[in-house]
Structure 1
Amino acid sequence: MNYNDLGNYIACKRSSFITIPLGTGGGLDESNLSAFLFTKRGSSVFIAFDAGTLWTGAQSFLRDTNYATYFNITFPPWATQIDQQVAWFIRNHVLGYVIGHPHMDHIQGMVQASPEDYLPSNALDMKIDNGLIGLLKDLLNPILGTSILTKKAIVGLPFTINSIQNHIFNNVLWPNLPGFGRYDYFTMIEGRGYNLTDVIFLNDTQRQSLVNTFPNNAQLTAYSTCHNDIQSTAFIYNDQITAEQVVFFSDTGIPSGNYNCDYQQKIYNVWKNVRIDKLKAIFLECSYPNNQSESQLFGHLRPKDIMPLLVSLLDLGVQPTPRMKSLSHVKLIVQHIKPLVNQTPSANKRLNIRQIIYKELTDYNPVGIQVNIPTQGEPICI
């Protein structure tokens, strides 16, 4: 979907949320790995769900100047080159990172951008009225602002946070930037709902500045899922004013091996907390086409695995009265499609992998969900 189209512009005016796919792929191409910025419509600050690619995705987004139709993003006068603008965008508009599991293709972008992921000491003196600076500058003393503004949150369940802390930012694989005050870790407890302001912002002054804007009035809940031999995560975002929900799954699916984790039951546990009539979107991986054998899935999904899961959502989710029989009001945002490097299914020799996945998802879609194959850098209105 091209967000420059008039029809999409009109749809966006009616939407509740916007996501920017900074990375949509499932490996090999390091310039396009799983990462989605997310915000409420009308806001210009974002949280990141996974962070496999940041820089290249932000480049793609900012090169199309029509982003100004949807977001209030301005740059310091010196930021005239695309790399300067990308760095500024990441520093000033990405509030924190909600990470579903610690595999490199889901954290690599955050790690590589981390040396530049901070606001300069004179940030509060700049004539910028949007992003993180715009939210905070009226309340903060410029002398104190440096230490307050430079920290961002890395958020996840214990397995994810411990892995990043011990094996990534450890002064061996990568400098311990959290130890130097660049980031703080927020470890969630499974099944507990957290105010997003408590998760992303780590001081009272910042929370007080966000009474009427994103990420205030939002709650985030994490549920463990299975990804082959490690733990992954699904996050439910709840708008506390409208009760609307968005579900984001990091990698999950059928294991290749005998591992003590029932991936379907874990997904069912998530579904039991979803309000069908309030659900706006599901971010879910579909790494392979239907011809991929189960022995070669390694904790991923195919279209023929996804549709039965969505049928189970209608059975297990919280239903209104009368019951809803379809998910036609919901967007399925398909992520983590792996490049097609082996033989193409004989029936689809003229199609690329994204087209194959889309065709297989739409050929059998008993719940009527809106299938969306995102394009890197192109916002999707939800």
Structure 2
Amino acid sequence: MPGKFLRLLAIAMLLFMSASAQKKAPSFSIIPLGVKGGIDESNLSAYMVSAAGSNNYICMDAGTLHSGIEKAVSKHTFKVPAETILKQYIKGYFISHAHLDHVSGLIINSPEDSTKSIYGLPSCLETIKTHYFTWASWANFADDGEKPALKKYSYKPMEPGKPVTVDGTGLSVQVFPLSHSNLVGAAYLVKNNDAYVLYLGDTGPDEVEKSTKLRELWQAIVPLISKGELKGIMIEVSYPNEQPDKSLFGHLTPNWLMKEMQVLQSLTGEGKLKGFNLVVTHVKPPQKNIEKLKQQLKQQNTLGLNLIFPQQGKRIEL
């Protein structure tokens, strides 16, 4: 009898360990190609996102491509040439808004890129079409706009509430509008089976922007947090707390981020954000400001969030 009991106990422990391992298995692989917001043109907002274990990525913003890919190769994140990553691994671009620090890599690399789609809100795509992919400023590599259209890229306007599926990736993406000073920016909710990750482009706090867009976004993701399906939020914090509200220009500070996280917790319930993954993006140079910003975030992290500071070229798994 004792032997039988021990065998049953061992089997139970193995089943428990197997279930725990499956529970902790990552759902997403994120490769930061650029993590800063101005002025370092070699390291501007761009994040490759795929289902874990897949080399079929979408790119959230595209401020830096080539330099970031080269950095990822040098860090052995990828073991293939940079050209393969640009042309074969990246299946499409999701642009949050058309400021240069979010699209310049896409524009500059377009002659060497492969055929794929550019997704975004109609206002964002219109700016790319009329200001960047024109024959006066560059060349029209897209399928609409000034003639001749070279048709390498196809514009895919998105509507809030209507997810799109990206062929060959297993991912679907839903867009939410954000308030970014004088622009309508975008957040993208990426779905892989029953797991999600949320990427926000540039955004100001609701109170400063006189907006409700962040609160509406938080309300939309509450059910995903409650069920443990949202694996993380990628959100900008551009300036340290010393930046006055009148000079935020549609961005966040540690103070404002934590206020917004308090709003999110008020919707999810006490303690629900403890250990939740928060990837901090779009930090603005100089380096002393970045270090101050990180220190302030850590000091004000009373909710127990798992703060992640991405490094260019280094893989993040969520």
Q: Which amino acid aligns with 1:268?
A: R
Q: Which amino acid aligns with 2:291?
A: Q
Structure 1 residue 283: deviation in Å? 0.8
The partner residue of 1:103 within 82, 99, 109 is 99
Structure 1 residue 117: deviation in Å? 0.3
Q: Corresponding residue for 1:173?
A: 137
Q: Corresponding residue for 1:186?
A: 156
Q: Corresponding residue for 1:163?
A: 127
> What SS is found at the alignment partner of 2:92?
strand
Q: Corresponding residue for 2:230?
A: 279
Q: Corresponding residue for 1:124?
A: none
Query: Does the aligned pair in 2 maintain the 1:24–1:33 contact within 8 Å?
Result: yes
* Alignment of 1:220 onto 2:173: yes
Query: Does the aligned pair in 1 maintain the 2:206–2:214 contact within 8 Å?
Result: no
Q: Which amino acid aligns with 2:150?
A: F
Structure 1 residue 330: deviation in Å? 2.3
Q: What is the distance in 1 between the residues matched to 2:102 and 2:207?
A: 20
Q: What is the distance in 2 between the residues matched to 1:246 and 1:93?
A: 19
Q: What is the distance in 2 between the residues matched to 1:312 and 1:255?
A: 11
Q: What is the distance in 2 between the residues matched to 1:312 and 1:245?
A: 20
Structure 1 residue 38: deviation in Å? 0.5
Query: Does the aligned pair in 2 maintain the 1:18–1:379 contact within 8 Å?
Result: yes
Query: Does the aligned pair in 1 maintain the 2:178–2:184 contact within 8 Å?
Result: yes
Q: Corresponding residue for 1:88?
A: 84
Q: Corresponding residue for 1:266?
A: 213
1:298-325, Cα deviation, whole Å (9 max, x unpaired): 1111000001111211233xx5xxx562
Query: Does the aligned pair in 2 maintain the 1:254–1:294 contact within 8 Å?
Result: no
Q: Which amino acid aligns with 2:213?
A: K
Q: What is the distance in 2 between the residues matched to 1:272 and 1:163?
A: 29
Query: Does the aligned pair in 2 maintain the 1:228–1:256 contact within 8 Å?
Result: no
Q: Corresponding residue for 1:234?
A: 187
Query: Does the aligned pair in 2 maintain the 1:51–1:97 contact within 8 Å?
Result: yes
Q: Give the number of aligned pairs.
A: 287
The partner residue of 1:115 within 111, 116, 124 is 111
Q: Which amino acid aligns with 1:262?
A: K
Q: Which amino acid aligns with 1:88?
A: T
Query: Does the aligned pair in 1 maintain the 2:240–2:290 contact within 8 Å?
Result: no
Structure 1 residue 378: deviation in Å? 0.8
* Alignment of 1:360 onto 2:296: yes
Q: What is the distance in 2 between the residues matched to 1:262 and 1:256?
A: 5
Q: Corresponding residue for 2:317?
A: 381
- TM-score w.r.t. length of structure 2: 0.85
Query: Does the aligned pair in 2 maintain the 1:228–1:254 contact within 8 Å?
Result: no
Q: For 1:17-96, list aligned pairs within 5 A.
A: 17-65=28-76, 67=77, 74=80, 85-96=81-92
> What SS is found at the alignment partner of 1:195?
strand
The alpha-carbon distance between structure 1 residues 324 and 254, as it changes in their structure 2 partners (threshold 3 A), is: closer
Q: Corresponding residue for 2:278?
A: 332
| Unmatched runs of 5 consecutive residues or more in structure 2 | 1-20, 143-148
1:99-131, Cα deviation, whole Å (9 max, x unpaired): 00000000000110000002xxxxxxxxxxxxx
Q: What is the distance in 1 between the residues matched to 2:132 and 2:306?
A: 37
Q: Which portions of structure 1, spanning 4 or more consecutive aligned residues, are displaced by more than 6 angstroms?
A: none
Structure 1 residue 251: deviation in Å? 0.4
- TM-score w.r.t. length of structure 1: 0.71
Q: What is the distance in 1 between the residues matched to 2:229 and 2:274?
A: 12
> What SS is found at the alignment partner of 2:61?
strand
Structure 1 residue 255: deviation in Å? 9.3
Structure 1 residue 159: deviation in Å? 0.7
Q: What is the distance in 2 between the residues matched to 1:156 and 1:273?
A: 19
The alpha-carbon distance between structure 1 residues 246 and 324, as it changes in their structure 2 partners (threshold 3 A), is: farther
Query: Does the aligned pair in 1 maintain the 2:206–2:215 contact within 8 Å?
Result: no
Q: Which amino acid aligns with 1:181?
A: K
Q: What is the distance in 1 between the residues matched to 2:302 and 2:185?
A: 27
Query: Does the aligned pair in 1 maintain the 2:205–2:257 contact within 8 Å?
Result: no
Q: What is the distance in 2 between the residues matched to 1:159 and 1:339?
A: 28
Q: What is the distance in 2 between the residues matched to 1:169 and 1:255?
A: 33
Structure 1 residue 256: deviation in Å? 12
Q: What is the distance in 2 between the residues matched to 1:368 and 1:278?
A: 19
Q: Corresponding residue for 1:136?
A: none
Structure 1 residue 254: deviation in Å? 4.8
Q: Which amino acid aligns with 1:286?
A: V
Q: What is the distance in 2 between the residues matched to 1:36 and 1:248?
A: 9
1:32-69, Cα deviation, whole Å (9 max, x unpaired): 1100000111101210000000011111100123x25x
